[in-house]
Amino acid sequence: MAKLYFYYSAMNAGKTTTLLQSAHNYRERGMRVLIMTPSLDHRAGSGVVASRIGLQAQAVAFSREDDLATHVRNDIAAHGRLHCVLVDEAQFLTRAQAWQLGDIVDELHVPALCYGLRTDFRGELFEGSQYLLAWADELEEIKTICHTGKKATMTVRVDEHGRAVHDGPQVEIGGNERYVSVSRAQFKKISRGEGNLDPAQAALPLERRDQPSCWRTDDP
């Protein structure tokens, strides 16, 4: 039975890596997937989903005005059976788009797997996350850790000195240079101006086999 899933976390928990692994698992079994990503996040290029460890895949970029259910219906009409829809950066969905993902599950019987942040740099819910938390059939936290060793559940936006930023738009695209995942206790401490954070994080040295760094997702 198809379901709507929401996998949520703080920054840098491996959401996109998990999404790409899920897509790979489907395709390895000869099943077709559709990866979707908000057009406002183009750090890796328009219509590209990329993880911090170097994995990436082509995706369909959508705007806040797009109807996701209509897009999926058109995709099925053009390419045939679809086995799974995967949405990256799902916190940027609108309320309407979160509802449309429910339509994809309930009317088209296609599972929808959404990956995104739960809260913003102020500790408040994003629009997409708010409604996915309310409407998803399955909720799962992807865990990451704070520099204190505790579980990180919140995200701090920092300036060039590593001090917490309290003002500005909710959506400001950035990576490790702008955001740090911390525990709730550290979020409170840093938000009070007690100390600063080093946004620089050492990368894990990985060895990769020779293979394409980008693979298509529209082949059967």
- Residue 206's pLDDT is 57
Q: Mean pLDDT across the stretch 200-214?
A: 54
Beta carbons of 129 and 97 less than 8 angstroms apart? no
Residue 35, helix vs strand vs coil: strand
pLDDT exceeding 90 applies to what percent of the chain?
61
Strand partners, 115: 7
| Residue 172: pLDDT band with limits 50, 70, 90 | low
| Residue 216: pLDDT band with limits 50, 70, 90 | very low
| Residue 214: pLDDT band with limits 50, 70, 90 | very low
The better pLDDT of the pair 197, 153 is held by 153
- What domains can you pick out in the chain, each with its CATH number? 4-143 (3.40.50.300)
Q: Which of 140, 116, 123 is nearest to 186 (CA)?
A: 123
Q: Counting beta carbons within 10 angstroms of the beta carbon of residue 2, is it exposed (0 to 12), middle (13 to 18) or buried (19 or more)?
A: middle
E strand spans, 41-165: 48-50, 56-58, 60-62, 84-87, 112-117, 138-141, 144-145, 151-152, 154-157
Structure tokens at 201: 């994080």
* Residue 89 a catalytic site member: yes
- Residue 157's pLDDT is 86
Q: Which of the following is catalytic: 28, 65, 89, 172?
A: 89
Which amino acid makes up residue 32?
Answer: R
